[in-house]
Amino acid sequence: MTADKKVRVFKSEKDICLHAIKGSLRSFFISFLLKGGITSAIRLIKLLKGKMSLSQLIIGFFEKETFRFASMVGLYSFLWKLCNYLLNFYRGNTKPSKLNGAIAGGVAGLSVLVEDKTTRVAIAQQFSMRALQAGYNALEARKLYSFPHGDAILFGLACGSILYAYVMHPNTIPREYYTWMAKTSDVPIPMLEAYRDNLNRWMEDNKEANLPLWEQSFDKIHAHPQAMEIMTKYTNAHNGQMPMAPCVLSHPHSIACVPYWFTAFYKAASSMVPVYLSVNTIPLLLFKPQVFRQPIPTIKRILISTLTSSSFIGTLIIVFQSLFCITRMVEPNARDNRFLYYIYGVIAGTSSIFLEQESRRQELAMFVQKR
């Protein structure tokens, strides 16, 4: 917003209220269609696979989470417009006022109370990151401060913390996020729990390997028949101890590392295609439908963006998993170190994010910070 731009002039408080109500209704319906559309598009894959009925898909479009999200956005729009334009009206502002905008933004923030407690925390974290992002962009626009590839470094550091928590302290990240990470990386949760138990034993100076736990874990997930043999052979060679658990724990359905890496990449990337396809398509249909007047370039752009983003997720996972395996190939008899997983996360995050478009790197860096 430029300094010489004039504010919209209203004749009365009634006109301001009507304008705020119209804006609120528009925001509500657009947000409802956006949230419900993306959710339904992602679930469409389940419908095609026969894991969901058409009636469930339709009902899912109108679930309460969608209503809450749309209500929050609609209320935010109403409060901001009402407060901002009333302040302009009473103060006689003829030019945009940063103070009015800040006050209106603070009042509009109360709209988050529409959401449930868990979602409110997530939204508050996201808005905090956006505020920091806006501050950085303002400094960069004025050429007061700039950090080359700062988004990639920030993303890498955040990935280090997240993946360290994923391996060592899953209770510090949301349960649904932890479950999604394990599923996307194709590492069974029982394996992560058994590995964590072994590493904690070494930290507590109780070095004897808990083979019954490993055996139970392998049985739960129907692991490769040779997986337990590899673990037993390793512990026998180390006097019943497991200083560094073999990498078969991260790919118990395949005892070969390299084939697993490619399989993990494919599974992770393909699982994200419906998500990114929805995210790249639904907003265009709602906000820029005119771009589909040129369907071929638009569809090409959507597909390239979807494949790039999906490959980015697959690459992040394969880099982390390959580092896990390579460490054990190079030093199979060394003692494991929990801080290695922070380093692996930093390397995986920093290297993979360069596959993403430059315009999206900052978005991703801000998103993972709140995790």
Could you report the per-residue pLDDT of 73-123, keeping only the tens digit for each?
999 999 999 999 999 998 888 788 889 989 999 999 999 999 888 788 878
Query: Higher pLDDT residue, 251 or 143?
Result: 251
pLDDT in the model for residue 19: 94
Two tokens at 47?
């419908």
C-alpha separations of 341 from 73, 98, 161, 291, 356 in Å: 38, 45, 9, 44, 23
pLDDT in the model for residue 2: 42
Do 179 and 186 meet the contact criterion of CB atoms below 8 Å apart? no
Q: Is the pLDDT of residue 37 over 80?
A: yes
Q: Is the pLDDT of residue 367 over 60?
A: no
Could you report the per-residue pLDDT of 297-350, keeping only the tens digit for each?
999 999 999 999 899 989 999 999 999 999 988 887 888 888 899 999 999 999
pLDDT in the model for residue 218: 79
Residue 97, phi then psi, degrees to nearest 5: -110, 120
DSSP 215-230: HHHHHHHT--TTHHHH
Lowest mean pLDDT among 115-129, 201-215, 276-290: 201-215
pLDDT in the model for residue 365: 54
Nearest to 80 by CA among 118, 112, 47, 46: 112
pLDDT in the model for residue 209: 67
Residue ranges with strand state E in the chain: none
Do 272 and 309 meet the contact criterion of CB atoms below 8 Å apart? yes
| pTM for the whole structure | 0.75
